[in-house]
Amino acid sequence: MESKSSSLFLGLDLSTQQLKVIAIDDNLSIVFEESVIFDKDLPQFHTQDGVCRHKDMLCVTVPTLLWVTAFDLLLKRMKEKGFEFDRVVSLSGTGQQHGSVYWKSESEKLLKNLDPEKSLSDQLKDCFVVDDSPIWMDSSTTEQCKTLEESVGGAQALANITGSKAYERFTGNQIAKIFQHNPKAYDKCERISLVSSFLASLCYGGYAPIDYSDGSGMNLMNIFTKTWELVCLNACAPDLKEKLGELVSSSKHIGKISRYLSQRYGFPKSCDIVAFTGDNPASLAGVCLKKTDLCISLGTSDTLMLWLDNPKPTTKGHVFVNPIDESAYMALLCFKNGSLVRETIRNRCCESSWEEFEESLRNSPPGNNGNIGMYFHETEITPFAQGTYRFNNDDVALQFFTKDEEIRALVEGQFLAKRVHAEALGFHITEETRILATGGASKNKAILQVLSDIFHAPVFIIHGTTNSACLGSAYLALYGVCGQSKVGFHDLFYKSDKYEMAVLPNVKTRDIYDKMVKRYKLLEEKVSN
């Protein structure tokens, strides 16, 4: 670990496929990284891509104990690598959004009195009334969504309160399903955590609160008053307010590190914990999003984020409380078929090689001779659709494309969708627009070139990491203890040399894509429900 300064700030990220940690020093340099990959490192849980897909293809869950075991392993690896726990001033973290954990009565006592001689997984294995946590990929709660919308007067009315119409993966609807299908378990549940506040609870040694930004992804919180909305709570399940606990700001200092972590690993007793938040809000913090920027995260899910000052929620996309400025908001669009689809098609067409994938992009012309494809291997969120669709230049449906056509149709289709839906939210590219690309696929310049051409804007990446969520939570760890009362988030973390220009748009493609966006929009309307 190379750092001259003595203070360290930790960010943890419990995402779909891995648990990761980043340590920054007080110059904001990344000085340590470690991760646990669920499929590879914890095969005993039988996950594929970090999750368990059920036979109905709608339910998607993760054994809660996997996440606890992953945390044990991450800490063990950090210790083995000589990580200097005693230098950590504060820590925060982030988690995949919407997923939920159901703690059994009396679990908090256990959390407070953990034995430092034993692992967390040994001690917490009987703490969950529901063994399998529903996660963001789940789309099994359409019935519960209808009930929730009806309880407040419709989809737009729900969006006016919570920032989103009812979505299957949003936690309120998942909680309602658990209450209806498993009322005994619900009864025995003392606290419901989000994935983020769950990981925070493991660090804090007690139930950690849910923050405003991640709380915005539940269909239960009023995004304007930042309080639980009683009508929504009551429409989902009884006694929910008590089970959810309090809501706090995303940079709130929530307490000190648990005695367990301090004794077992050597964190200082004074180490502060700052509220954990969702992975998308944390990414916004990690890229230091400005009002004129568009952030596109290319991960297991692809997401698109914008800064909003005066949100007017609609039934398309989501409005969340902004994690770095509580008086502001962020718009989020989530595309479920992101990296996993890119990888599946790469494996099928390009013998699992990114080089071959890029070669195909180079071999095919921008605009793909009018061919358009949509690849919704899993039920898509934006738009609500499933299946694979290929159209030729005359909008006639086809069964197959050539290899090069297929690769270009995939990448163009994914970015055309992003532009169509960003414009539907009212976003327009200006001279000032920067696209900030993050997530695993942002390493791939050939993919970024298509993004840049379709949006007619330069694409920037962040120096040093593609994991802006984890970095953002390390920033929030620092901000929560030293920044917020004196200076704004950007004053502390915005540095122009943080960004690297990755690609510039090719002006010759502008007309091609302006026309194609219009066609894509109509074709997408045809295939979605």
Binding site for ligand 5FX (CB under 6 A): 15-16, 96-98, 136, 169, 217, 278-280, 301, 303, 332, 334
CB of 173 to ligand 5FX, least distance (A): 13
- Cα 92 to the chain's mean position, in Å? 15
CB of 465 to ligand 5FX, least distance (A): 17
CB of 135 to ligand 5FX, least distance (A): 8
Q: For the chain, what's the residue count?
A: 529
CB of 334 to ligand 5FX, least distance (A): 4
Q: For tokens 């180490």, what's the residue?
A: 271
- Identity of the residue, 331 or 349, whose beta carbon is nearer to ligand 5FX in the bound complex: 331
- Identity of the residue, 149 or 272, whose beta carbon is nearer to ligand 5FX in the bound complex: 149
131 and 64 Cβ atoms separated by less than 8 Å: yes
Residues 6+ apart with CB under 8 A from 29: 3, 464
Reading the block at residue 169, the tokens are 């993966």
Q: How many CB atoms lie within 10 A of CB 412?
A: 25
- Identity of the residue, 144 or 509, whose beta carbon is nearer to ligand 5FX in the bound complex: 144
- Identity of the residue, 342 or 403, whose beta carbon is nearer to ligand 5FX in the bound complex: 342
136 and 106 Cβ atoms separated by less than 8 Å: no
- Identity of the residue, 141 or 360, whose beta carbon is nearer to ligand 5FX in the bound complex: 141
Q: For the chain, how far is it from start to end, CA to CA, in angstroms?
A: 52
CB of 303 to ligand 5FX, least distance (A): 5
- Identity of the residue, 96 or 100, whose beta carbon is nearer to ligand 5FX in the bound complex: 96
- Identity of the residue, 167 or 401, whose beta carbon is nearer to ligand 5FX in the bound complex: 167
CB of 400 to ligand 5FX, least distance (A): 31
Query: In angstroms, rounded to a whole number, what is the distance separating the alpha carbons of residues 519 and 277?
Result: 38
CB of 72 to ligand 5FX, least distance (A): 22
226 and 211 Cβ atoms separated by less than 8 Å: no
The one-character DSSP state at 441 is G
Reading the block at residue 359, the tokens are 């070669």
Residues 6+ apart with CB under 8 A from 45: 38, 63, 65, 66, 69
Query: In angstroms, rounded to a whole number, what is the distance separating the alpha carbons of residues 256 and 266?
Result: 13
CB of 161 to ligand 5FX, least distance (A): 18
- Identity of the residue, 15 or 368, whose beta carbon is nearer to ligand 5FX in the bound complex: 15
SS3 for 125?
coil
CB of 282 to ligand 5FX, least distance (A): 10
Reading the block at residue 484, the tokens are 């917020």
- Identity of the residue, 97 or 314, whose beta carbon is nearer to ligand 5FX in the bound complex: 97
CB of 265 to ligand 5FX, least distance (A): 27
- Identity of the residue, 278 or 286, whose beta carbon is nearer to ligand 5FX in the bound complex: 278
Shortest-Cβ-distance residue relative to ligand 5FX = 96
C-alpha angle with apex 244: 108 to 334, nearest 5 degrees?
120
CA distances from 384 to 114, 139, 280, 359, 377 (A): 44, 10, 20, 32, 12
Query: In angstroms, rounded to a whole number, what is the distance separating the alpha carbons of residues 54 and 309?
Result: 40
CB of 343 to ligand 5FX, least distance (A): 16
Query: In angstroms, rounded to a whole number, what is the distance separating the alpha carbons of residues 23 and 513?
Result: 41
- Identity of the residue, 88 or 381, whose beta carbon is nearer to ligand 5FX in the bound complex: 381
CA distances from 516 to 86, 175, 346, 508 (A): 56, 41, 24, 14
- Identity of the residue, 249 or 280, whose beta carbon is nearer to ligand 5FX in the bound complex: 280
Query: In angstroms, rounded to a whole number, what is the distance separating the alpha carbons of residues 471 and 440?
Result: 14
CB of 151 to ligand 5FX, least distance (A): 22
Selection from 12, 176, 163 nearest residue 96 by Cα = 12
